[in-house]
Chain A
Amino acid sequence: GAGVSQSPRYKVAKRGQDVALRCDPISGHVSLFWYQQALGQGPEFLTYFQNEAQLDKSGLPSDRFFAERPEGSVSTLKIQRTQQEDSAVYLCASTGPTNEQFFGPGTRLTVL
């Protein structure tokens, strides 16, 4: 019964670098969500997958953000040409049949 895992836990990038953040959902969970949490704020929705299908990407802030879940399990959030305003904690959550979202530990991204 492992929970949602994310890697890396911390990432420091220079402005302009590309980064890739990984999420391993709870085994068997069909739905997977990415959120961005700025300091002192609640999480903000980025994108949502049901199995391998990306059903909602309305929260992605720009076309520099891209997410995929090719086999319906592990998901990767990629940020190209990182900017300082991308600095935040990126949270992944998965949902099973109970409609409740369980969060991973997050990846803290710092863009210098």
Chain B
Amino acid sequence: QKEVEQNSGPLSVPEGAIASLNCTYSDRVSQSFFWYRQYSGKSPELIMSIYSNGDKEDGRFTAQLNKASQYVSLLIRDSQPSDSATYLCAVKGAYGNNRLAFGKGNQVVVIP
């Protein structure tokens, strides 16, 4: 079992709709969770971090964390063509293990 799983295929959403991305992780003691956006040919850009159960909102982005279910999600409201990118879920372990474990990413295409 991979440490971080993002199993959905490419996601196409019409402009203005909500894009929903899901991620599960295997290490129950993980403490920190991140969503990165990566445009084609570019490096990952941090868009959200979340550390405690519940929702965290930042502009059009909402991250949701459920540690009991080992599940983290990202909602993009009012999707714009500029949101078209690959979204990477990343998880940081506990006990001084500072590396990030990444999922393979989900491609989002926003259709004008």
Contacts and interface: CB of A to CB of B under 8 A. Distances in A.
Contacts of B104: 40-42
Given A48-B98, A56-B99, A43 B44 contact: yes
A59 B3 CA distance: 14
B99 A59 contact: yes
A48 B44 contact: no
B43 A44 contact: no
A56 B92 CA distance: 14
Of the four ranges (under 10, 10 to 19, 20 to 34, 35 or more), the interface on chain B belongs to: 20 to 34
- Tell me the interface secondary structure of chain B in the complex: strand
A102 B46 CA distance: 7
Contacts of B88: 42-43
Of the four ranges (under 10, 10 to 19, 20 to 34, 35 or more), the interface on chain A belongs to: 20 to 34
Interface in B70-112: 88, 90, 92, 97-105
Interface of A: 31, 33, 35, 40-45, 48, 55-56, 59, 89, 91, 93, 95, 99-106
